[in-house]
Amino acid sequence: MVGAVGLQVLSGVNRRAEEAVTLQRKIAAYRQLQHDTTAQLYSVTSALLVPDAPTLEATVRQLNQFGYDFDRLQFVAKDESSCSPRCARNMTSSSRWLPRSSS
């Protein structure tokens, strides 16, 4: 009887540990997205202030890279659908006006 209770307790602990790992992955994906969004704002601001070719190309590359962060977030946070469709539409619509990088 004590063994069965012990197994139940261990099963619960294992489940909570798996949930903690999943939450840590989601947090990391959201933080990366937040960090890269802030960096992109600075990059776009720089491109608008100094519109030379290297700055514009770097900005376009960085904006195109954002798709990878968004894909990672969608993969990690599959069960959180509140922002995902709206973010996907915004990502798709903004990527249409982005020129492709020459490199």
User: Mean pLDDT per segment of 10 residues, for the chain of length 103 residues?
Assistant: 83 92 90 88 87 86 81 80 62 56 48
Contact in structure between 95 and 67 (CB atoms under 8 Å): yes
Query: How does DSSP assign 25-37, residue by residue?
Result: HHHHHHHHHHHHH
Q: Tokens 């990088």 appear where?
A: 101
Q: Judge if pTM exceeds 0.75.
A: no
How many CA within 13 A on the CB side of residue 70?
Answer: 18
**pLDDT at site 101:** 47
**pLDDT at site 103:** 47
**pLDDT at site 71:** 82
